[in-house]
Structures are given as C-alpha cells and as structure tokens.
Amino acid sequence: MAIDAATVRKVAHLARIKTPEDRLEVLAGELNGILAWIEQLDEVDIEGVEPMTSNVSQPLRLRDDVVTDGAKVGAVLSNAPKSADGFFVVPKVVE
Amino acid sequence: MSDPVKTIDGRTGPWEIVLGLEVHAQVASKAKLFSGAAVGFGAGPNEQVSLVDAGFPGMLPVLNRFCVEQAVRTGLGLRAKINEKSQFDRKNYFYPDLPTGYQISQLYHPIVGEGVVEVERDDGSFFNVRIERLHLEQDAGKLIHDLSPSESYVDLNRAGTALMEIVSRPDMRSPDEAVAYLKKLRTILIYLGTCDGDMEKGNLRADVNVSVCRPGQYEKYRESGDFGHLGTRCEIKNVNSFRFISQAIGYEARRQIEILEDGGVIDQETRLYDPTAGETRSMRSKEEAHDYRYFPDPDLLPLEIERAWIEEIKASLPELPDDKRRRFMADYGLSQYDAGVLISEQAKADYFEAAAKGRDAKLVSNWVTNEVSARLTADGKDFSDNPLPAAHVAQLVELIETNVISSKIAKEVFDHVWNGEGSPAEVVEKHGLKQVTDTAAIEKAVDEIIAANPDKAAAVAEKPQAIGWFVGQVMKATGGKANPAAVNEILKAKLGL
C-alpha cells in the first residue's frame, strides 16, 4: 500500500496535525518506509491462529455498577485553556 | 388488511419508501460504561465527570459489569444471538464534545448479533423487523451554544454514559411502521428494565435511514440480500419524538424523489431534522469526519461472557410483551386489540391482572383501559403511580356482575371512589346507590307511570319500541337505581307486550 501526498494531507487533517505542504512528500516517503517495514509480518504463517489484539491472555476485568468517581470539577477543568461557570469554553461550533 | 407499503406518486410514476432505524438506548446504570462517575440528569456542569471521561492522559477504561448484563438482557429480549466473545473498537473523530478524540464502540465484534422484533400495525396485522446487531458504546458530552454569542460551552456529564445501539435491517416501509417499531422496541426495553425509554430526556433516540425505490425493487433486495436493488440512503439524526420521526421521513422521501425525478443522484449523507422548519438539511461537518479509522481499542481486552452467566440472565427475564399478549388472549379471552392496549405498559398489564382475578376479564379490561386510564391521564399520572388500588376495580366489577349496581350507576360509584371516598361497596352503601331489584318497588313505580300516561300506554301496543320512554321514566322515578332488566320485564307484562 503506497501512501501519496494527498493521503498524508487527509490523515493529517483528520488527526488535526498541522502539516506544511512542503512536508507532505517527505512524510509520505517516511510513512511508506514504516509500512514496508511492518509488512515483513506478512511473512509469518498465521494459518489457524486466531486474531488477537493483545499479547496477554486473560479475561477482561469488570467493575461493579457503583459510583466511585466525579465531583471534581476543578481537576477536570485544570487543563482547559478557557473555562467559565464549570464549563469548558471553546470556539463556537454550530451545526 | 390494509397495504402496509405506502406508495408515493411522483411525476414519473410510483415510489416506495424503505426505512431502517438505529436506536440509541441509554443503559439504566448508576455509573458510566468505563468509569465510576455517576449517570444522571440535572447535576451541575462537569460534576459527573471522572478523569477517564475527560480524556486525561494515562487514564484507563474499566468496563461496567452491569452494562454488559443489560446488553445481554436486551439481546435476549430481542430474541437475538448473544456473542460470547466481543471486542471494543475506537471510532476516531474530533469534536469538542469528545475529549478523548475517539468514541469506544463495537464495530467488528458486537456483543449481540441478529434478532427479530414482532410489530403490530394499527390495523392489527403484524410484521417483523430484523435486528442486525446491538452493541455497547459511549455517549458524548453536551455543547451549549446559547451562553455566549462567540463561544460554545462544554458539559461532559453525559460523556461516557453507556448506550446500546440497536441497528435494524431496512424492514419498515412507511412512517407508521417506523413509529410502531420504535414504540414496540421501547416497550420491550421498559419491560426488561434495561433502559427507561424516556425520550424527552434523550435516553432513547433514533436515527432514521431513509431511501426510496421503485415498486418491486424491495422484494428483489429481500430475495437476494443485495442492497444494489435499493436506493441510496440518507441518515436523519435528531428525531427525538414519534411525531418528528413521521414528519422527517415524509419530508426526506419527497426530497429524494424530487432529486431522482429531475435526473439527479442522492448523495449518501447525514442529515439533521429541523422541527421548526419541518425539513432536513445536510450536516457537512459530519461528512468530513466520516472516515472514522476504526481499530481495536488496545486498552480493552476482548470481552468474554460465560455461557452460565447468559443462562442466569435468561432465567431472570420477565414475561415479554408478545408472550403476555398471547397469554391474555388465551387465559382471559380478550381480543387482540384489548390485550395489546393492556400490555403496552407493564404496570397497566399487572394492574389488570390484579383486578381480573375471578372477575369478568372483559369488563375489568374495559374499566382499566377506559375509566382508570382516562383519570390517570387527566391527572398527569400513569399506572406506575396509580393511586387507585386494583382491588377497588375488582370490587366495582363484582358489584356490576352481581347486579348490586348497574353499569350506569357504576360510573357514579367510580367517581366517588376515585375521589377517595372509600371502596366501591362503601360508596354504594354511603350514597344509597344499590340497584332496586325489589320487584314490588319497581311495580309500584310502573303502575303509577302507566296510570298517569294512559295515551302513551295505549300507543305502545301499536309501536312496541315506544317502551323505551317508559323505561326512562321508571329509571328517573327510581333515581336510576332500578335494575334495567327487571324494569323491562315488569313493563312488558303490565303493558301486555
């Protein structure tokens, strides 16, 4: 799978990473290198092996339905560039 | 039976509507899907938010067992396949109400697979809506736009709340069918107790997929499973009441037909219904974000549900609406319609059963669905906070059955009972409403009226239906308390009919 400048532009936009036009080709080359390196994994024979998304084989831990958290507006807003009356404040977004 | 498919006549011939619903049902849990913050309505801004919900670095999600159980329970209620192994995925997009930049959902391996919902149309006929899947996912936060002219305010209290997304196949063919399906689904959820079904609070929301096609195409799709026979669909968001769903579908279908008849093409897109304007419009911002780049969430291991747990949940299921309707018809001899009205609310069905024991079920059903329902509605209540004990309805019906009071007087008795004057028997006693079955008293009244109206008595011989006038007079003379059957019998004898 070859990545071109247009794909890099699109992915950068979707990820909200500001990328100057003159970097697109360079990044495309780097990303293609990474993908080619990862594609080496295709050489492994996985016939009959179940797909896995984790390298630990244990059941997912579950939590009881009990309220143990919340009521920490100060901490929640602590990294917000702007807040008011307990809300995060962001530039206007309207549908 | 009426034709369930609603045909719309265009300039170039008839069109048909094809509808599928994606319903988001909020799980009735105390805490969120992946954090210990409270779920609820009306708390101050950002008070029900943990650092997990706010997307702080390094915070890890831990799945709520109760939410898993509710999803399985709902799946069983939809007669669906429960997937013993499922997985959570990240759906990536940027929006200010989504602090993590992704929603945890289940795209590739949902917790519940295919099921079916049996839906009754207004005319009493049934149709099936196939369920494609049910999966667990997080809700987003809320944006408030009216606190500032230039900025939006963000409240994350709702962020991370557990939702069950229930996706149907495109099996509804008219706005009425879509509404009937959603109503049925809501009833099932409320019976199961997995979602409170409160649409006003947004705890049950529907997105509607609308497309149009020429007659015959839908049948081809059903035969082959090939969506190519159907038109391109648009997804309408923000339809939060039964009325809006109906209106939005009507508008959207006409919009699509107009484009197609002008030789245009339908773009597959997300549209927003605007109830004030009564129209749908494109949500361009959502289009741009449609590339969600799903991938399995590395923070969450696959979810495995043991067979024994599923069996345990199955054993705890209540009687479901379909089963209850069939049982009411079989055990109480009720019509499909009456049974349907009673089972539409679990509390109403329970109330009926409590009152119907040993009584004339049809009569009890009438009192429950007419008088009691009407009074509750007038008082802004429903059967879950009904102040009238079922035993009172049972006693009232018993008084009618045993001819202590007539049906007519029963309404008066009911008024007193509803106003808290005691049981029906006490009211009848207190207000002297007992039906007069004492034939001597009725005969006396009949004699007096015939004596006072000799011309009318003579006329009855020619025109037997004129007896009705006499019945009325006797009832009046006895304050409405005379047994109508006894009055009729005595009148007929005295008038020589």
Mean pLDDT of B334-343: 95
Nearest to B161 by CA among B22, B292, B66, B38: B38
In a domain, A11, yes or no: yes
Number of domains chain A contains: 1
CB atoms A64 and B46 under 8 Å: no
Contacts of B65 in chain A (CB under 8 A): 62-65
Residue B272 with chain A: CB contacts under 8 Å: 95
Q: What is the pLDDT along chain A (95 residues), one digit of tens a residue?
A: 689 999 999 999 888 899 999 999 999 999 999 999 999 999 999 999 888 777 777 889 999 999 999 999 999 999 999 999 999 999 998 75
Per-residue model confidence (pLDDT) at position B476 = 84
Question: Could you state, in order of their start, the residue ranges of all structural domains in chain B?
Answer: 7-313, 319-431, 439-495
Asked, for residue A54, whether it belongs to a domain, the answer is no
Q: Convert the pLDDT of each residue in B412-450 to its tens digit.
A: 999 999 999 999 999 888 887 787 767 777 888 888 888
Residue B2 above 50 pLDDT?
no
- B467 falls in which pLDDT band (50, 70, 90)? confident
Q: Check A60 against B302: CB less than 8 A apart.
A: yes
Residue A17: which residues within 8 A CB-CB, separation 6 or more? none
- Whether A2 is covered by a domain: the verdict is yes
As a whole-number percent, the residues of chain B with pLDDT over 90 amount to 72
* A82: in domain: no
Instruction: Tell whether A62 is covered by a domain.
Output: no
Whether residues A69 and B56 touch (CB distance < 8 A) is answered with: no
pLDDT over 70 for what percent of chain B? 98
Residue A89 in contact with partner chain B when CB distance is under 8 A: yes
Per residue in B174-197, pLDDT (tens digit) is 999 999 999 999 999 999 999 999
Q: Say whether pLDDT at B4 is over 70.
A: no
For an interface test with B, the pick among A3, A10, A17, A60 (most B C-beta atoms closer than 10 Å) comes out as A60
The H or E element spanning position A77 is none
Q: Which CATH architecture best describes the domain B439-495? A: Orthogonal Bundle (1.10)
pLDDT on residue A95: 59
A63–B36 CB contact, under 8 Å: yes
Chain centroid to Cα A34, Å, comes to 17
pLDDT, one tens digit per residue, over B120-135 is 998 999 999 999 999 9
The residue of A14, A67, A78 whose CB has the most chain B CBs within 10 angstroms, and thus the best one to mutate to test that interface, is A67
* DSSP conformation letters of B304-340: E--HHHHHHHHHTPPPPHHHHHHHHHHHH---HHHHH
Domain that holds residue A21: 1-43
- Whether residue A6 lies within 8 A of chain B, CB to CB, comes out as no
For residue B409, what pLDDT band results from cuts at 50, 70 and 90? confident
Per residue in B375-401, pLDDT (tens digit) is 999 999 989 899 999 999 999 999 999
Instruction: For residue B292, give the nearest of B53, B97, B102, B100 by alpha carbon.
Output: B102
**Mean pLDDT value of segment B43-56:** 96
| Residue A55, domain member (yes or no) | no
**To the nearest whole number, what is the mean pLDDT of chain B?**
91
Instruction: Read off the amino acid at residue B486.
Output: A
Contacts of A62 (CB under 8 A, 6+ apart): B62, B63, B64, B65, B68
Question: With the CA atoms of B408, B413, B416 and B417 taken in that order, what torsion angle do they form, in degrees rounded to the nearest 10?
Answer: -130
Q: B49, A53: Cβ pair inside 8 Å?
A: no
- Of B456, B439, B452, nearest to B493 (Cα)? B439
